[in-house]
Amino acid sequence: MDRQSEIRSHKMWRKGLGNMPKYFFVARHGDETPHNSDGIEFPDIGAVQLEAIKSTGEILRDLDYPIEAGSEWRMEVADEARKPLFSLRVITELYE
């Protein structure tokens, strides 16, 4: 392959990197209005699930208030069409 073909091939490959699907993450807790993300590109659903798990852990770790018993905290993930794909839920329960 000559140098021009290599450059053209590399440009096409790099251009393809921007064509990954976008996924949207929304964190919900109680009646708080969620902050909607602008969307993040990921190569596949496995990468999206790992990011959701890591982000959830980081957010929960950094909370500066306790989650009340009986409340629920969720990380919701949607695709480019804003179709819900899955959610991670943290539910607090008080056992007496």
Q: How many domains does the chain have?
A: 1
The answer to the question of residue 1 being in a domain is no
The answer to the question of residue 46 being in a domain is yes
* Phi then psi dihedrals of residue 77, to 5 deg: -125, 130
The answer to the question of residue 72 being in a domain is yes
The answer to the question of residue 8 being in a domain is no
Question: Could you read off the pLDDT of 20-79 as tens digits, one per residue?
Answer: 899 999 988 776 666 666 889 999 999 999 999 999 999 889 888 877 888 888 999 999
Domain that holds residue 42: 20-91
Question: Whole-model pTM above 0.75?
Answer: no
The answer to the question of residue 6 being in a domain is no
Q: Which two tokens stand for residue 58?
A: 């980081």
